[in-house]
Structure 1
């Protein structure tokens, strides 16, 4: 078998390079990794690496193809299993593959920008997933979205076990649906979802409202949403603002400090819609309406999706911020779900914490899909459909 002997060493080296890239992309994000860094981790020269991959983009797409081919082969081999078994099992398989969840979580957000080398690959992936059939079972957009959102959430919250959440989802019995816009029951009287202020980071270091700072934050928001944090320099932001790098550093001492200002301002804008305590059902109506309008507010979805994916790396300066934000948002929706259960609007067997995790993950995952294909995804309609599947019909 001379042909096998001749090419086997080259194939092995190619796999080593893919493994090195996988580890670095997962730890530092695509934008923060260089080909020279990958070559150094694999123990070869930059010139030698270029014999196998002509660019970092080429290497990334080869890595994606390797994983997706393996997942497709696994799924095809297990078509005899019902979806409620095969879907959580595939999630377990992915969780056991070194670096898979970390890289996928970061990449789904980063590649949302149309200029990213993996954008078209990921867009096609979502389109193909929406067409998958398993007998009479179709993988619904909401299931794909929640699965993606849970993977990201699991990198911030230790309590999230993605396969277990999928098991629980399939175990939930379907039944009659409620109507989110029907009149709330009398049992809701006295209940109120408190207004949530934007999560204030530990270190603010800036004075909102000054015109120059506001312009810097707006320009940084645009660039972070387009390119991610790691691939955007202070010089890039200064150029977009029309000022010098030294001017930026006068207002924000570091790039990390500017990032803090950007994500804080983003949450302030999201929270502007709800200004007073609301009853649970009215609150959820506002959430649905807000989700529909966010797409018309440039940068909000892009910024959150790109940064929350990129910041899954422990060393990212926004990791702590997003960890605290996930803790806060899940706890907030847990209280809403608990009120719905106490007022008889959802089944008493529902776990408010689990329902909160699923809802937040669903929302986040739908935002990702919307960025790849806004014509195919109506975030507000999907959230309403999920909530009405959770609500009991009016008596």
Structure 2
């Protein structure tokens, strides 16, 4: 007999488990009814159709998330002033606590952030949750002494978006945790190095190298030699779908429609959905790694040419693609090396582009990484606004943070 007393709290844990295992797209009524030992009719009676159900789940998860941050507020009730180093250590501890003790909820939040760029209505549902988090970061950074010249709450809010999804995938790796610790500290100490003998720059190089030594279980083929001509013409459409709509959107029907081929032709070359995802992710990773390396000397113009559109990835696409890889790595262990490589390379392009303006060696790769994570987080955070506004938001964020560097180096 179907239960008649269902509450959102009754279905939150099974729903978060489904998202963690298969992504937000897997959150449908029938599988959820099976997991909660109820019926589809009981779910719809209590929570409505799928969008209504998602709204209830977001509201319930948001309430639990607020309780988590309220716990940190209580810890800090008697703390009125924090130095930049103390603030960095505290932020690092909060991020670690979030992904270690509340992994499912943090993953649900990250899935929603990704979906807000392409799934109508999710951005509106997510907005109160984002406002809650920004309010907490504002309460926290209000204790920074001396106060920053810019709104560090806004910066940290964006930074945490990108860092959280990588932490979800990579938290078990000591090299990643150290890289995060060093990056967060630069975020609060003015970005630039304290001097040519600064130990954090040396530590950064150590853990940067170590994070790049993970065995590549995914086996990225950088030359795409294994693809025949027909497959090569299709994989670009798969990767574009992942970038624009996330991995859960990759189906034979969706890819066939984008590529303009018969579903039977697509199934001949890529038999399963796993084959499609693997090909698309491999294409993204190959292109991203090539773009990171292939910068010309003329101010950072990217030389990589795409198979389908004959243009380089935009900054929006790079941000969404790397976010998608990290999100997928939380449930596909074979992608951990790829996600780690993308995280450690944060800021490489930016360092090459900005070093003409900041030739001082104190503007080092670690400074560029702190800038880059904040900017990419802003792009993903602004995803629902569209390419133009998201790019503008990220540019404004970079310009504001670059202003701090100019002051530090002057």
| Structures share fold, TM-score greater than 0.5 | yes
- Pairing 1:325–2:325 present: no
Residue correspondence of structure 1 range 84-163 to structure 2 within 5 A? 84=87, 91=95, 94-95=98-99, 96-97=101-102, 99-115=104-120, 117-123=121-127, 125-126=129-130, 133-134=138-139, 138-157=151-170, 158=172, 159=174, 160-161=176-177
* Contact persistence 1:301–1:367 (CA under 8 A): yes
Taking the aligned partners of 2:112 and 2:260, their CA distance within structure 1 comes to 30
Q: CA deviation at 1:44?
A: 2.1
Which structure ranks higher in relative contact order (CA pairs < 8 Å, sequence separation ≥ 6)? Answer: 1
* Contact persistence 1:330–1:356 (CA under 8 A): no
1:34 is matched with which residue: 15, 21, 28?
28
**Larger helix share, 1 or 2:** 2
* Contact persistence 1:366–1:379 (CA under 8 A): yes
* Contact persistence 2:253–2:263 (CA under 8 A): yes
Taking the aligned partners of 1:263 and 1:145, their CA distance within structure 2 comes to 25
Residue correspondence of structure 1 range 222-371 to structure 2 within 5 A? 222-270=240-288, 271-272=290-291, 275=294, 286=300, 300-305=318-323, 307-308=324-325, 310-314=327-331, 316=332, 319-321=333-335, 323-332=336-345, 345-346=361-362, 358=370, 361-371=373-383
- Gaps in structure 2 of 5+ consecutive residues: 195-211, 305-310
Q: CA deviation at 1:110?
A: 2.7
- The number of equivalent residue pairs is 347
Question: 2:393 — aligned with what?
Answer: 378
Distance 1:228 1:71, change over 3 A: closer
Distance 1:295 1:71, change over 3 A: same
- Pairing 1:173–2:194 present: no
Taking the aligned partners of 2:177 and 2:231, their CA distance within structure 1 comes to 41
Taking the aligned partners of 2:319 and 2:186, their CA distance within structure 1 comes to 29
Residue correspondence of structure 1 range 198-209 to structure 2 within 5 A? 201-202=218-219, 204=221, 207=226
Please list the CA deviations of residues 261-296 of structure 1 after superposition, one character each: whole Å capped at 9, or x if unmatched: 323433454444853687xxx9xx6399x9xx9785
Question: 1:181 — aligned with what?
Answer: none
Q: Normalized against structure 2, the TM-score is what? A: 0.65
Distance 1:166 1:39, change over 3 A: farther
Distance 1:34 1:299, change over 3 A: same
Distance 1:51 1:90, change over 3 A: farther
* Contact persistence 1:105–1:309 (CA under 8 A): no
Compute the RMSD of aligned alpha carbons.
4.8
Taking the aligned partners of 2:192 and 2:268, their CA distance within structure 1 comes to 59
Please list the CA deviations of residues 222-276 of structure 1 after superposition, one character each: whole Å capped at 9, or x if unmatched: 4334443224320222133232222113333433333333234334544448536
Q: CA deviation at 1:10?
A: 2.8
Q: CA deviation at 1:312?
A: 3.9
Q: Normalized against structure 1, the TM-score is what? A: 0.67
Describe the SS at the equivalent of 1:311.
Answer: helix
Please list the CA deviations of residues 147-179 of structure 1 after superposition, one character each: whole Å capped at 9, or x if unmatched: 1212111122223459x849953894349999x
Distance 1:114 1:140, change over 3 A: same
Please list the CA deviations of residues 365-387 of structure 1 after superposition, one character each: whole Å capped at 9, or x if unmatched: 12312313352653245345546
Distance 1:324 1:390, change over 3 A: farther
* Contact persistence 1:106–1:310 (CA under 8 A): yes
Distance 1:276 1:143, change over 3 A: closer
Residue correspondence of structure 1 range 67-86 to structure 2 within 5 A? 67-72=61-66, 78=74, 80=77, 81-82=79-80, 84=87
Describe the SS at the equivalent of 2:60.
Answer: helix
Question: 2:199 — aligned with what?
Answer: none
* Contact persistence 1:87–1:166 (CA under 8 A): no
